[in-house]
Structure 1
Amino acid sequence: MPVLLAAPFAAIFLFTLEASSDPLPPDLTYRPLPTLPFSQVKEIDEAQKPAVMRRQADLLNRRYDLANRPMEDVMMSGGTRPVQAGVRVKLPDGVSWDALASMTPREIRDKGLLPEGFMPLPHVKQATGGQVFPDRQIEEIAKQEARDLRRFDADFDFPDHLMPEFPPPIFLTTHPELGDVSRGQLLTIKNHYEILNGIITPVQMEGLRLLLTPFPQEEFNQTEDRKVAGQSLGVACLDCHSNFNTNGAFHLTPDVRPQASRFRLDTTSLRGMFNQQIHGSKRSLRSVEDFTEFEQRTAYFNGDHVSATRKGANLPDRTNQVAMMAQMQNIIDFPPAPKLDVFGRLDPARATDLELEGEKVFLGKGRCADCHVPQTSFMDNNMHDLKLERFYEIGKTVNDFIALPDGPIKTFTLRGIKDTPPYLHDGRLMTLADTVEFFNLVLGVKLDQQEKDALVAYLLTL
């Protein structure tokens, strides 16, 4: 491993010395302190930002078709955004999806034919990392709270039309009869009491308040190594998990080192938390309380608790705070799925022939249900390793990110899946059609086009 990584790290070290405000190569356990005054760091980062964003845009445009092509009459659960259609991952020249699926992993690797869009996706600024928020979240928080979530070194990289609807609806297990309780608004520390007063309990209201309270985070704090222009109160849990769903914000997984090997981590939905037994795509935390506590202590600081201390670490009390936060998270329901019965199966009286065919593929040839079990909210509460590295050369560096094996990742629920693009743990797949093509290749199930279309139709009913 050290021999394999030596050259990429050397390249990153040169890049750091020549063009970055980061003082040391990103191959250390602890985050280094800045060696330049904040004003100079900010000036350097702002000057580099256009080039950083161009480099990421070039990568995305090389990998994907990012056009706005919505499905006809298929909307996300809140009814404000259409679901995007079609495969967006670009194939290598002269190769079809069927031809690719007929090859062995070794053939694909040796010929370099794995589509780039199936490769791990770099953080927009991999060497620095940290949370990056989409514009609509930044603008709404600035409007409601006068709090700045805009970084001066990097912007969000995906087009808005490929993101979840904003703000997303909120459904409660305790009041399914109310439907969406958000009133079409983004919950913030300013409005949450008015919106949910009389609907949730005092314990849940206190948990919600804590989930909406900003606390210091690696790039959003009051110290000189922040990445926002003004001293910041930090970020809140629901800054990423907007209305307990997701806005597509991303950061780097906190439990991998060195920095260049840390993979991008897309924000997951908190819907259906009540039925989940493990949390965190990689860390496999065994309760929502553990997850909530861990996020505050280390994930907010890229896994560096030493760095957290000087910024003002938040250490929520397990009994009086963490438990209340968990109580609130555990009443967030999935969106309605009227075509499903109580066992998670399609009702033949409500489903179309194509949807029923897709369910048959899901349960059978597609092998989706091996992990996404309908009776348990379309997950199995386990970790699985897809071993994607069978298909590509390990150690390739792209935009300062070294593509290493992902290892085991938890099975995410598929309930409400149309509301949570992009897909996979790092958001590398733009659409459900992309996701079907990805798993068709990786699992080697060899679906034909009719079966793929049926599977997408079925996923939209969940």
Structure 2
Amino acid sequence: MRRQSALLAFCGSAFAGATVLGFGALSDPLPPDVTYRPLPTMPFSEVRKIDEAQKDAVMRRQRSLLERRYDLSDKPMDNVMMSGGMKPVQDGVRVKLPEGTTWEDLAAMTPAEIKDRNLLPEGFLPLPHVKQATGGQVFPAHQIDEIHAREARDLRRFDVDFDLPDNLTPEFPPPIFLTTHPELGDVSRGQLLTIKNFYELMNGIITPVQMEGLRLLLTPFPQEEFNQTEDRKVADQSTGVACLDCHANFHTNAAFHLTPDVRPQADRFRLDTTSLRGLFNQQIHGSKRSLRSVEDFTEFEQRTAYFNGDHVSATRKGVNLPDRPNQVAMMAQMQNIIDFPPAPKLDPFGRLDPARATPQELAGEKVFMGKGRCAECHVPQTEFMDNNMHDLKLERFYRIGQVFNDFAAMPDGPIKTFTLRGIKDSPPYMHDGRLMTLADTVEFFNLVLGVKLTGQEKKDLVSYLLTL
């Protein structure tokens, strides 16, 4: 019944006039129960007109949800910067508590009590896409502006904008570290890699095979919202997007989209761009698909319009079919030499060197390895991951099927363990970016895992995570 209600709610917004927004009809309504995306039913000029008229209301609605869930203000840590040294790491818990509760109160309750009393902080629930009925990739302004300036290619959508403030996103452009040349440090020279400058920046540093792989990773190919067809979401016909449009400098710029693995549309959860640092040690790829090699992942996304998981729609737009033995292998060769940022306080086994770490960092490591149970999945010896999928069963704490901005909050299911190396560089956190800071992440897992950390243990744990 709850699932049916969620689908009806989505259907109502998509067909009955988007009553939440107060408009006539959405420009691209989707039946709530289809597998394949239907062909457009309106001329592009009409679609654009409707989308542009709705945009302000769409963004106001999402901003209202974000401000209800989080403190979005700029509160940098003292003297703690991301790896490029240009952007401070944000401090403090940003998820807002239900009125009259404390974190200690919640930690003392059972999941059933929290669920029955509807006390799970809304910021711990899955985060909706800025425009769920449409979905698709949404890029932050700095990526849009830089690509437009360097390549005269426009990633700006006319129907939505990026929804998080800049202070809660990664450093831009992020530094690039290579396993083949750790002595060089950041090889980006403070620039964003583009199709225009990659050769000059990397000439003499990488091999011919890697250079060709890099060229392909920077070449735009047709994608669902960025293409030449009439269902695009950019004003001008576009050549598409490149792999490194999201994975800026092989890291992440916090661009997001919807998971390709779930249907119907109302259930597709938001998916944040992950960092490609340390890909050499990862054995599964994709938050849910568990593709077994970076070659599989690269080829699959190229064939299915990147993260829309629809090969039929992709073919209509001009799908790119990369050659597996040559092109895909070369792309993988380049991706597999991207390293993590330096962590000078860690020894070769991923443990803190007592001669370099502070007492608080060492105390945090003890929590990480013991009471906090973090190391059971984030194994230090394997770059703080375990190459497995885990289901946190968060639905123990909330009522399934609640609808937020046309998104039906369903169980997340198994999600792969993400590496914690260089984690201070990668806000927001979780697969959908629902947690704004490391302190939020500690509170989330303290509650979900039921480990009952003290206030000091939480602070120590955050201090430790900053060393990774």
Which TM class, normalised by the smaller chain length? over 0.9
Deviation for aligned residue 1:299 = 5.2
Amino acid at match of 1:166: F
CA contact (8 A) 2:55 2:160 kept: yes
SS of 1:257's equivalent in the other structure is: coil
CA contact (8 A) 2:212 2:331 kept: yes
Match of 2:187 in 1: 181
CA contact (8 A) 2:305 2:319 kept: no
SS of 1:322's equivalent in the other structure is: helix
SS of 1:251's equivalent in the other structure is: strand
Match of 2:277 in 1: 271
Match of 1:94 in 2: 100
Match of 2:8 in 1: 7
How far, CA to CA, are the matches of 1:195 and 1:184 in structure 2?
10
Q: 1:6 to 1:456 in 2, by over 3 A?
A: closer
Mapping of residues 53-452 of structure 1, within 5 Å: 53-298=59-304, 300=306, 302-452=308-458
Amino acid at match of 1:367: R
How far, CA to CA, are the matches of 1:268 and 1:225 in structure 2?
27
How far, CA to CA, are the matches of 1:317 and 1:445 in structure 2?
48
How far, CA to CA, are the matches of 1:79 and 1:23 in structure 2?
45
**Mean Cα displacement is larger for which, 288-297 or 227-236?**
288-297
SS of 2:446's equivalent in the other structure is: helix
How far, CA to CA, are the matches of 1:439 and 1:38 in structure 2?
45
How far, CA to CA, are the matches of 1:220 and 1:297 in structure 2?
15
How far, CA to CA, are the matches of 1:453 and 1:298 in structure 2?
43
TM-score, normalised to structure 1's length? 0.99
Deviation for aligned residue 1:234 = 0.2
Q: 1:434 to 1:188 in 2, by over 3 A?
A: same
**Mean Cα displacement is larger for which, 255-264 or 4-13?**
4-13
- Cα deviations by residue, 1:322-344 (Å, 9 ceiling, x for unpaired): 00000000000000000000000
Counterpart of 1:460 (choices 447, 453, 466) is 466
How far, CA to CA, are the matches of 2:39 and 2:108 in structure 1?
50
CA contact (8 A) 1:9 1:27 kept: no
How far, CA to CA, are the matches of 1:21 and 1:438 in structure 2?
37
Question: Which runs of 5 or more structure 1 residues have no equivalent in the other structure?
Answer: none
Amino acid at match of 1:289: E
Amino acid at match of 1:194: E
How far, CA to CA, are the matches of 1:245 and 1:197 in structure 2?
20
Deviation for aligned residue 1:175 = 0.2
Deviation for aligned residue 1:291 = 0.7
Deviation for aligned residue 1:9 = 3.8
CA contact (8 A) 1:254 1:298 kept: no
How far, CA to CA, are the matches of 2:121 and 2:87 in structure 1?
28
Deviation for aligned residue 1:5 = 4.2
How far, CA to CA, are the matches of 2:216 and 2:6 in structure 1?
41
Deviation for aligned residue 1:255 = 1.1
Deviation for aligned residue 1:433 = 0.1
- Cα deviations by residue, 1:215-267 (Å, 9 ceiling, x for unpaired): 00000000100000000000000000000000000000001000000000000
Counterpart of 2:27 (choices 21, 24, 29) is 21
CA contact (8 A) 1:9 1:25 kept: no
How far, CA to CA, are the matches of 1:310 and 1:291 in structure 2?
21
CA contact (8 A) 1:254 1:299 kept: no
Deviation for aligned residue 1:6 = 4.7
SS of 2:78's equivalent in the other structure is: strand
How far, CA to CA, are the matches of 2:38 and 2:368 in structure 1?
47
Backbone CA RMSD of aligned residues: 1.1
Deviation for aligned residue 1:32 = 1.5
Amino acid at match of 1:190: K
SS of 2:260's equivalent in the other structure is: coil
How far, CA to CA, are the matches of 1:87 and 1:6 in structure 2?
33
SS of 1:278's equivalent in the other structure is: coil
Aligned length: 462
How far, CA to CA, are the matches of 1:23 and 1:396 in structure 2?
21
**Mean Cα displacement is larger for which, 299-308 or 182-191?**
299-308
Match of 2:45 in 1: 39
How far, CA to CA, are the matches of 2:223 and 2:306 in structure 1?
5
How far, CA to CA, are the matches of 1:88 and 1:255 in structure 2?
29
SS of 2:271's equivalent in the other structure is: strand
How far, CA to CA, are the matches of 1:376 and 1:66 in structure 2?
34
Amino acid at match of 1:141: I
Deviation for aligned residue 1:33 = 1.4
SS of 1:366's equivalent in the other structure is: coil
TM-score, normalised to structure 2's length? 0.97
CA contact (8 A) 1:23 1:34 kept: no
- Cα deviations by residue, 1:277-327 (Å, 9 ceiling, x for unpaired): 001111100001001111111251611110011100001000110000000
Question: Which runs of 5 or more structure 2 residues have no equivalent in the other structure?
Answer: none
Amino acid at match of 2:211: M
Deviation for aligned residue 1:140 = 0.1
Deviation for aligned residue 1:14 = 1.8
SS of 1:113's equivalent in the other structure is: coil
Amino acid at match of 1:356: L
CA contact (8 A) 1:109 1:390 kept: yes
How far, CA to CA, are the matches of 1:297 and 1:100 in structure 2?
45
CA contact (8 A) 2:305 2:313 kept: no
